[in-house]
Amino acid sequence: MICRVTSVTRSRPPHITLANLQATGLLKPSVVRLDRLVTAEKTIFIRRISVLSPADLAAVRSAWNAHIHT
C-alpha cells in the first residue's frame, strides 16, 4: 500500500506534515496524505526516492491507527 506525499501543504486530518525534511531528501516541505491510498505491485518500482525518518514514520503510523479506528 502506498500513500501520496505532496508539497501541497494543506495540513488537515489525516494529513501528516513531515517534520524531518532533511532526512527524507525531499526538496520542499511535504505532507503525507493518508486519504489517498493506492496499491501497486512492488515490481513496478525502479528506485526508492526517499525514506521517512523514524519519528515521521511513527507519526504516520499513529495517525493511520487513529484514522482507521474512528
51 in Cβ contact with 59 (< 8 Å): no
Hey, what CATH topology would domain 2-68 get? SH3 type barrels. (2.30.30)
**Mean local confidence (pLDDT), 7-18:** 81
- Predicted local distance difference test score (pLDDT) of residue 49: 81
User: Domain residues of the chain, as ranges?
Assistant: 2-68
6 in Cβ contact with 40 (< 8 Å): no
pLDDT single digits (tens) 18-58: 998 888 888 888 999 988 788 989 898 888 888 899 999 99
> How far, in Å, CA of 45 to CA of 23, rounded?
21
